[in-house]
Amino acid sequence: MRNFSVVDVFCGAGALTHGFVLEGFDVVAGIDADDSCKYAYEANNPGSQFINKRIEDLTADEIESLYPEGHIKILVGCAPCQPYSPYTKRVEDKDEKWKLLPRFADLICEIKPEIVSMENVPDLATYNEGELYARFIEQLEAEGYHVKDYDRIYCPEYGIPQRRERLVLLASQYGNIEILGKTHPSLDDYKTVEETIAHLDPIKAGETSESDPLHKASGLSDLNLKRIKSSKPGGTWRDWPEELIADCHRKQSGKGYVGVYGRMEWDEPAPTITTQFYGFGNGRFGHPEQDRAISLREGALLQTFPEDYAFVAPGESIYFNVVGRLIGNAVPVDLGRLIARSIRRHVKVCVEQSAT
């Protein structure tokens, strides 16, 4: 959009940026502390600069200088969600990283961009009895922002083929701002695993497609190969013969963990894609038909990255833990597009109202 410029804080591999780019916005820069994001960010978002810096070390002046003079400023970001996730066990990690959200709020209030979007896990709204998130909202409202928060955006209702729930906050100096309505409101409308990945070449565990180096599946031990062959789409390890069941699941404390070592279902959305999605034992990440976990490319497609999205420079080695982290930590690209379209509509309405 002409005269609108976006800066993406905590940009990762560029998924949120890419959503805005696909909707016609000029994203001038992405900022992240993880330098492994640089190639993916810049290769897929030409013209957008990657800045490798921690938010704690950034000043408002540095960010403000990125916006072209006279442009409307849009600041978007997704503070790392691990501090607010129930999966984070280490208290010291939570204590250190929760400070990133207040720092983001401080930068907003210093820069005063016309429009702000913040995306995170729904648990942020209840973390520390909701005090942290409430303070974030209060700080923005005190600066004159109209704030609208959605603590549970269910991704399948917006055409994203995974059961991910996200918190989305929108804030504007122009007036009330809202997210667009659901595009896939019923179960029958949800985009499925089959629609998303069934067209890719069949590969075996430990193999890589000849046509796409990212369509690469992790290997399986002999035991796990037997386990996945005994797994049904949508089933659990309880479907296995007794001799295949892990010792931890035989104990009372492990009997409720039925979401691991499972296959996805063709006619359903995928489970939430995590940073460990490439491992069969890390969740319901088994391919619906092939005896392997989903590949890196399949995980990226379920995160709605375009099929040609590049995460590693040509000729460089592809490491599961590195690329898996980039994909699993990303905002789904199509959620970024939804946020961008919502902002575009909001601006159009506000301009029309100011003209009358």
Indicate which residues carry an active-site annotation.
81
On whether the CB atoms of residues 296 and 324 are closer than 8 A, the answer is: yes
Q: How many CB atoms lie within 10 A of CB 333?
A: 25
Q: Give the strands of the sheet with 49-52, arranged side by side.
A: 49-52, 26-32, 4-9, 72-77, 115-120, 165-172, 146-154
- Note every long-range contact of 316-322, with CB atoms under 8 Å and residues 24 or more positions apart, other chains counting: 318/213, 318/214, 318/216, 320/216, 320/218, 320/278, 320/296, 322/36
Question: Are 195 and 161 a contacting pair, CB within 8 Å?
Answer: yes
The gap between the terminal CA atoms of the chain, to the nearest Å, is: 22
Rounded to whole angstroms, how far apart are CA atoms 2 and 4? Answer: 6
Compute the distance between CA of residue 67 and CA of residue 123 in angstroms, rounded to an integer.
Answer: 32
How many other C-beta atoms lie within 10 A of the C-beta of residue 208? 17
Is 283 in a helix, a strand, or coil? coil
Bridge partners of 167, per DSSP, are 120
Do residues 109 and 116 make contact, with C-beta atoms less than 8 angstroms apart?
A: no
Tokens matching residue 126: 């209840």
Cα dihedral 227, 230, 231, 235 sign: negative
Tell me if 203 sits within 8 A of 215, measured CB to CB: yes
Cα→Cα distances 249→232, 236, 239, 277, Å: 18, 11, 13, 20
